[in-house]
Amino acid sequence: MYNSSEGKLLHPHKPKNDFANLSVKISEHLHWTFAVIHYVARVHSVCPHGAFCLLENHATANGVEYAHLVARALSSNNKLMNKLEWYWGMTRRTLNLDTCYNVFPCSSGLHASHDASEWGLLPSDDIVMQYHDSLTKLHSHFLAERTDFHKIPNGHFLYRFLPLRNMEIATITRYLHIPTAEDPSLRPEDLVNYFFPFNSIPPLKSHIHPKFAIFELGLQVSHLPLDEYCSLLITTPILSSVLDIYYAWTRTPPTRFLEDSVQPAVTLSGSKCPGYDKTICGWSQYTGSLYRSKDKNKFYPTGWRDSFSKNDWS
């Protein structure tokens, strides 16, 4: 057999790549699969609705995926990560967007529409105001101080589903009853349909930490056209406070915080999830729990970025 690209004769029964390379690829795939299994288990361990979609309340067998509220792609935006780490009172290079407190079960359709910035999760007014009250007003602006960051413990919080754009013709179907082995039938009264503007959707209980929800919603709202933002303010005035917080958290931090220094490897940015075991082979590197590299292209371990995107986990 002749390889024209290399000008070499190849043995007809000998593959070009030896079994060693195949073994490495299989090992990496198993390594990644093992990590994902534990990653999902960690989300389930803190999620009040387990493996069920936050909005539609159906299980993984019906197309539930695991969505990042704050897009994990932002991890490579070092300027932004530095800002959040400073104002959230964290050590530099320790913010982990793969934490289970930023990931939730969601149907594939709603996952896609969320990634397209079509909706967000709004924390209850009292949670928003706890963060807003920690800001300092200077003229017409609000400023955040690292030492004044309001630290809310992990737990379960109530959220309002907030449509932002392109949701006028969307329908959300929520299961009120989940078929079981004992009662496998599904009746019309077991489902309820919600339509724009989705005001009748009940408060959603989630383990998502409100600091992620406020930042993510502020990011989306800050990019809305002025007329759309003003329309939202009429029905949801608390968004003004959300934007105040977002802008305060995204100001440039002090220069001294931006000086590069080698940080030790960390676990989960101060938000360690139940069941985490640093002895699990390869787990720390696959959760992104190592500090951010100075080289942004080295933030993700080899093979992780492509494998993750192929499975629509971004």
Judge contact between 32 and 72, C-beta under 8 A: no
Q: What is the pLDDT of residue 39?
A: 75
Lowest mean pLDDT among 55-69, 206-220, 254-268, 270-284: 270-284
The confidence score (pLDDT) of residue 246 equals 98
Domain count, the chain: 1
Distances (CA, A) of 79 to 87, 91, 260, 261: 13, 14, 13, 15
32-50 pLDDT, tens digit per residue, is 566 667 778 889 899 998 8
Could you give the CA distance from residue 191 to residue 175 in angstroms, rounded to a whole number? 5
* 18 within domain boundaries: no
pLDDT of residue 233: 96
Q: Give residue 304's pLDDT.
A: 31
Hey, what are 233's tokens? 């303010």
pLDDT in tens, 157-172: 999 999 999 999 999 9
> What's the pTM value of the predicted model, to 2 decimals?
0.76
How far is it, in rounded angstroms, from Cα 186 to Cα 180? 10
Q: Are 58 and 52 in contact (CB under 8 A)?
A: yes
- 160 domain-assigned: yes
Instruction: Give pLDDT, residue 61.
Output: 62
Domain containing residue 219: 26-308
- Domain annotation covers residue 3: no
pLDDT digits (tens, 9 = 90+) for 210-246: 999 999 999 999 999 999 999 999 999 999 999 999 9
Q: Supply the pLDDT for residue 234.
A: 96
H or E stretch at 241:
helix 239-249
In a domain, 134, yes or no: yes
Please indicate, yes or no, if residue 6 is contained in any of the structural domains.
no
Q: Please check whether residue 13 lies inside any domain of the structure.
A: no
1 inside domain:
no
Does any domain span residue 230? yes
| Six token digits for residue 101 | 């407190």
